[in-house]
Chains A and B, each alone.
Chain A
Amino acid sequence: DQQVKQNSPSLSVQEGRISILNCDYTNSMFDYFLWYKKYPAEGPTFLISISSIKDKNEDGRFTVFLNKSAKHLSLHIVPSQPGDSAVYFCAASLEGGSQGNLIFGKGTKLSVKP
């Protein structure tokens, strides 16, 4: 039973356009959500996070939106760049943001075309 779901295994976007990656969760006790990026042959790297008490967090080209009533979050990348091509994992925490003990989705592979 997956508590964190990324229903789109892949997404293709043109360079310069917006990439929107979606994530749904089932456990209303999650208090922190994170996005990780993973390149081939590398480990995941932390990208951006959001506390459950907020609905938006922005860091440069990356913005995460949280809709608690819908148990949905999304990652917006604007503008998308070819270097953003990677697998993006959504993750949730029950421990106030501790990034070790996380529940991950299966990932969405983003391809940004030049």
Chain B
Amino acid sequence: DSGVTQTPKHLITATGQRVTLRCSPRSGDLSVYWYQQSLDQGLQFLIQYYNGEERAKGNILERFSAQQFPDLHSELNLSSLELGDSALYFCASSVIGGGVNTEAFFGQGTRLTVV
């Protein structure tokens, strides 16, 4: 158990809909990262938040957005869903925002299926 909690574990929704994925980081971790793993792709970095502020942005679509709340949990919002958005979405957390050997711990992921 990494200490990172993601909910829900599974989500099935229709195209065009909007969903929210939730992540609770490890106790004491200030930084949260979101990754997407599609069927034929490796893990793709989406976005990072550090202590409530956006820190880095990767290959995140404009239909997707995220935020980190004062209690440090984070939500990833996916809207106008398409079939191609079906993937495993991972959240990871780390104590600080970057630097050498900043180990990140991953949650178990949320499997999103868009039908």
**B interface, how many residues as a size bin?**
20 to 34
Would you give the shortest CB distance from A61 to chain B, in whole angstroms?
20
Contact of A105 with B92 at beta-carbon distance under 8 Å, contacts A49-B101, A95-B98, A100-B104 already known: no
Question: Which of A45, A49, A100, A106 makes the CB contact (< 8 A) with B2?
Answer: A45
Q: What total count of A-B pairs have CB within 8 Å?
A: 80
Give chain B interface residues in 27-83, CB to chain A under 8 Å: 31, 33, 35, 40-45, 48, 56, 58
Contact of A101 with B98 at beta-carbon distance under 8 Å, contacts A41-B108, A45-B106 already known: yes
Question: Which of B94, B97, B106 makes the CB contact (< 8 A) with A43?
Answer: B106
Question: Which of A6, A91, A100, A105 makes the CB contact (< 8 A) with B98?
Answer: A100
A99 CA to B27 CA, complexed, in Å: 18
- What B residues does A98 contact at CB under 8 A? 94, 97-100, 102
Provide the main secondary structure of the chain B interface.
loop
> What is the 8 Å Cβ interface bit string for chain A, positions 79-114, against chain B (1 contact, 0 not)?
000000000010100011111111111110000000
Give chain A interface residues in 50-82, CB to chain B under 8 Å: 51
**Chain B residues in the interface with A (C-beta under 8 A):** 2, 4, 31, 33, 35, 40-45, 48, 56, 58, 90, 92, 94, 97-109
Closest 4 CB pairs of A and B: A43-B106, A98-B98, A104-B42, A100-B33
Can you report 10 residue pairs joining A to B where beta carbons are below 8 Å apart?
A41-B108, A42-B108, A43-B109, A44-B43, A91-B43, A97-B99, A98-B102, A99-B101, A100-B98, A106-B41
